[in-house]
């Protein structure tokens, strides 16, 4: 959800009023922002301050005539990336996703300016594009901060889901089944065969002749 010129700020309009359970993470001054609303054929260019919280990004430009503020929930940011052209300054770009909820649209477009209201409705229904230039060289820090904040919120549709742990089989050692005990007949037969072999060996030893003596 995006709000154009409808962000709650402090008295001088230089800092956003935080939502419940909201915490500001990053803030930058002297930032150049371009908001392109393709469906309305409108492009806003403004210089001001940019804020990142755990819920949204907020741009404030109190002195600008038409773009005084812009607030976008992190869930409605997509395709954010760091552009590094060969010529020119680095910039951060992202898309603002359209909102499909009529209730959220009506709640988010209560503004005093008719022109701003119409353009904000266009953002909600058709989306828009953002480009931001940082004069203090903080483009990568901002890009990384936004990505981490969105990841913590689970804003990625392709975020890995929690998979159940594999089921392990029991590690209890089971005793092998007892071997069959031999019956008495087989034991007696084995003993008889052993005695017979012993008698035959003794008899062979008795009949064995010694080698003849040498002269």
Residue 29 has pLDDT above 80, yes or no: yes
Q: What does R_g of the chain's alpha carbons equal in angstroms?
A: 42
More confident residue, 208 or 27: 27
Q: What is the DSSP letter of 20?
A: T
Contact 48, 64 (CB under 8 A): yes
Q: Which pLDDT belongs to residue 205?
A: 52
Domains of the chain: 2-152 (2.30.29.30)
pLDDT band at 107 (very low <50, low <70, confident <90, very high): very low
Q: How confident is the model at residue 144 (pLDDT cuts 50, 70, 90)?
A: very high
Tens of pLDDT along 164-185? 434 444 445 455 555 555 555 6
Can you give the pLDDT at residue 183? 57
Per-residue pLDDT tens digits for 2-22: 777 667 888 877 789 898 999
pLDDT of residue 160: 38
Computed over every residue of the chain, the mean pLDDT equals: 74
Q: Taking 50 as the threshold, does the pLDDT of residue 191 lie above it?
A: yes
Q: Which residue has the higher pLDDT, 191 or 67?
A: 67
Question: How does 15-49 read in b/e, with b if 16+ C-beta sit within 10 Å?
Answer: ebeeeeeeeeebebeebbbbbbbeeeebebebbbb
Quickly state the pLDDT bin for 206 (edges 50, 70, 90): low
At 137 the pLDDT is: 83
Asked if 43 and 34 touch (Cβ cutoff 8 Å), the reply is: yes
pTM for the whole thing? 0.63
Give the pLDDT confidence score for residue 123 in this predicted structure.
65
CB 57, CB 73: distance < 8 Å: no
Q: Alpha-carbon distance 152 to 55, whole Å?
A: 10
- For every residue of 68-101, which 3-state class applies, written as one string? CEEEEEHHHEEEEEEECCCCCCCEEEEEECCCCC
Q: What is the pLDDT of residue 150?
A: 93
Residue scoring higher pLDDT (112 or 89): 89
Is the pLDDT at 60 greater than 70? The verdict is yes
Asked whether the predicted pLDDT for residue 211 surpasses 90, the reply is: no
What pLDDT, on a 0 to 100 scale, did the predictor assign at position 33? 96
Q: Please report which confidence band the pLDDT of residue 202 belongs to, taking 50, 70 and 90 as the band edges.
A: low
């Amino acid at each position: 959800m995006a709000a154009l010129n409808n962000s709650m700020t402090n008295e001088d309009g230089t800092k956003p009023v935080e939502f419940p359970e909201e915490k500001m993470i990053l803030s930058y001054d002297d930032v150049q922002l371009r908001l392109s609303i393709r469906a309305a054929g409108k492009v806003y260019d403004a210089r001001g301050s940019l804020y990142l919280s755990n819920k949204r990004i907020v741009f404030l430009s109190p002195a600008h005539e038409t773009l005084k503020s812009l607030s976008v929930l992190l869930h409605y940011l997509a395709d954010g990336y760091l552009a590094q052209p060969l010529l020119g300054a680095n910039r951060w770009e992202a898309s603002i996703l359209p909102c499909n909820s009529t209730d959220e649209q009506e709640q988010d477009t209560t503004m005093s300016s008719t022109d701003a209201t119409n353009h904000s409705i266009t953002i909600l229904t058709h989306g828009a594009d953002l480009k931001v230039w940082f004069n203090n060289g903080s483009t990568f820090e901002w890009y990384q901060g936004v990505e981490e904040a969105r990841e913590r919120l689970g804003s990625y549709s392709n975020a890995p889901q929690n998979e159940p742990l594999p089921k392990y089989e029991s590690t209890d050692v089971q005793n092998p089944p007892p071997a069959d005990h031999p019956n008495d007949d087989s034991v007696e037969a084995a003993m008889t065969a052993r005695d017979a072999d012993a008698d035959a060996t003794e008899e062979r030893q008795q009949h064995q002749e010694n080698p003849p003596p040498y002269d």
